[in-house]
Amino acid sequence: MIKINKTRLREKVRSFSRFGDNGNGGITRLSLSEPALQARKELICRCRKLGMEIKTDDLGDIYAIRKGTEDLPAIVMGSHLDSVVNGGNYDGVLGVLTGLEVIETLCAGNRPTRHPVGVMVWTNEEGARFDPAMMCSGIVTGHFDKDTMMHSKDPEGVCFGEALAESDFAGSRENRLNPRDYAGYLELHIEQGPVLETMKKEIGVVSGVVGMVNYEFTVTGVSDHAGTTPQKTRRDALYAASGVIVKLWDELEKIDDELVFTMGRLNVHPNVHTVIPDEVRFTLDARHQSPGIIRKVVEVIKNLPHEVKGCSVEAKELWARDTVEFDKPFVDAVRDASDELGCSYLEMYSGAGHDAQYVAGYVPCGMIFVPSHNGHSHCPEEYTPIELCANGANVMLNALLALDVKKS
C-alpha cells in the first residue's frame, strides 16, 4: 500500500505551529487574523509548488485542486486553519496538513487519480472570533444566512464581512463546494477526547456526529434580606435550582452509559452575598447518537416539577441538532483502509461539532479521527504523536484512492 512521508508531515506540523505561536507550546490563530492569513498564504504557496490550482469562494474558503485524468467531480480533504485563543497545534490544521501530505505523496510518486483531488480550508470554524462555530460550512450548505453572518462582530467590533474583505481571500460564490463539482469530502481531525488513547486504538472510523439538545432552566423565587428573613419562609431560587440540578443528574445518569450531559452555566441573581437569590438560570447540554435516547432526556426535562421549594421552574429548549450520519461508502473506505494498513480502529460518533457535519447530506463525506494524548484539546497540551498523525494520513490516502476507483 502506498504511504505518506512521515518526516515531511512532521516538517509541515512544525512549520505551521509558527503561525500564532504563543511561546508556551500553543497558538492563537483567530480566524482572518494576521497569523491565520500567514498560515493560509503558506498553504497556498506549498499547493502551487505542487502544481495545484487555487480557488477561493465568496467566504474565503480555499480549494486547492490537483487535476484528475478524467472529467469527473473532485474529491477534497480538508478542515480549518483557525484556532481558539491559546489553542493547540493539531485541531483543524492537522486535517489540512495531512491532506497536503497526501497530495504531495501522489505527486512525488507520479500517481494519477481519475478524479481531481485536493485540499480545502474552511474559514472561521472555531467561532472564537466571529460567532457561530462552523460558520462558513454552515453558510455553504444552507444552514446559516450569509448576510446575517457577514455582520457577526468580533469583540473589537470588526464584522466578519469587513475582515474578509480586508483579507484578500474572498473569491467567487460559484467556487463554493457543491454537489455538482465535488464527489466527496474527507476530514481528518484529532479526537479531542480520551477514548481512542484509553482503548489503545490508532484510528477512529467516524460514523457520524452525535445529536444534542441544549436547554436553559429558569428557577424563580423571591429576593429578601439575608439577615432578617426567617429560614422557613424563604423562597430561595438557588436552593431550589440545586435540587433540580441534582435530580436531573440522577435521572439522566440512569438513561444510558454513552449519554453525556453537562450543566455548564449557572447565573445567580442578584449574586450578592447578603441577598436571597430570586432567579437562577442554568443550562443543560446532552448528547447521544440515538434520537431515542435524546427523546428520553427531553422526557426527564418535561417531567420535572414546575414548583420546587416554593420557586417556579421553567425549561426552554435553546437549540437541538439531529445525529448526522456520514456516507456509508466513505465510512467503509476509512474502515477498509485502516484494516489493510494494519491499524487498530474503533467505530465511533463524534461528540464535538465539525465542518463535516454540515457537509454531510450535501456532498458525500466521511471523517477520520486520530488519538488526542490525554484527551486534551483547545489548549497548548493538545498533542498527537507524529506516528499516529502519519497513520491517519495513510488511512486518508488509501481511502481516497479507493473512493477514486469506485466513485463515478
Name the site residues for Zn ion (rule: CB under 5 A).
Answer: 91-92
Q: Go through 281-312 and write b for each residue having 16 or more CB atoms within 10 A of its CB, e for each that does not.
A: bbebebbbbeeebbebbeebbeeeeeebbebb
Contact (Cβ atoms closer than 8 angstroms) between residue 215 and residue 318 = yes
Residue 94 Cβ vs Zn ion, minimum distance, rounded to whole Å: 9
Nearest residue to Zn ion on Cβ basis: 92
6-16 and 34-49 are packed helices; what angle lies between their axes, rounded to 10 degrees? 150
* Closer to Zn ion by Cβ: residue 60 or 116: 60
Taking alpha carbons only, the member of 292, 238, 307, 309 closest to residue 268 is 238
Residue 268 Cβ vs Zn ion, minimum distance, rounded to whole Å: 33
* Closer to Zn ion by Cβ: residue 57 or 91: 91
Round to whole Å and give the CA distance between 55 and 78.
14
Q: Could you write out the DSSP letters of every residue in 74-119? A: EEEEEEE----TTB-SSTTHHHHHHHHHHHHHHHHTT---SS-EEE
Residue 354 Cβ vs Zn ion, minimum distance, rounded to whole Å: 6
* Closer to Zn ion by Cβ: residue 92 or 161: 92
Q: Could you write out the DSSP letters of every residue in 119-146? A: EEEESS-S-SSSSSTTHHHHHHTTSS-H
Residue 83 Cβ vs Zn ion, minimum distance, rounded to whole Å: 9
Residue 103 Cβ vs Zn ion, minimum distance, rounded to whole Å: 20
* Closer to Zn ion by Cβ: residue 101 or 125: 125
* Closer to Zn ion by Cβ: residue 177 or 308: 177
What letter represents residue 368's amino acid? I
Residue 189 Cβ vs Zn ion, minimum distance, rounded to whole Å: 6
Taking alpha carbons only, the member of 11, 10, 116, 119 closest to residue 69 is 116
* Closer to Zn ion by Cβ: residue 91 or 382: 91
Phi/psi of residue 134, nearest 5 degrees: 55, 40
Q: 156: left (phi > 0), else alpha (psi -120 to 50), else beta?
A: alpha
* Closer to Zn ion by Cβ: residue 87 or 221: 87
* Closer to Zn ion by Cβ: residue 90 or 345: 90
Round to whole Å and give the CA distance between 373 and 382.
7
The three grid cell numbers given for residue 191, joined into one nine-digit string: 479526537
Contact (Cβ atoms closer than 8 angstroms) between residue 15 and residue 97 = no
The three grid cell numbers given for residue 357, joined into one nine-digit string: 457535519
Residue 369 Cβ vs Zn ion, minimum distance, rounded to whole Å: 11
Residue 252 Cβ vs Zn ion, minimum distance, rounded to whole Å: 27
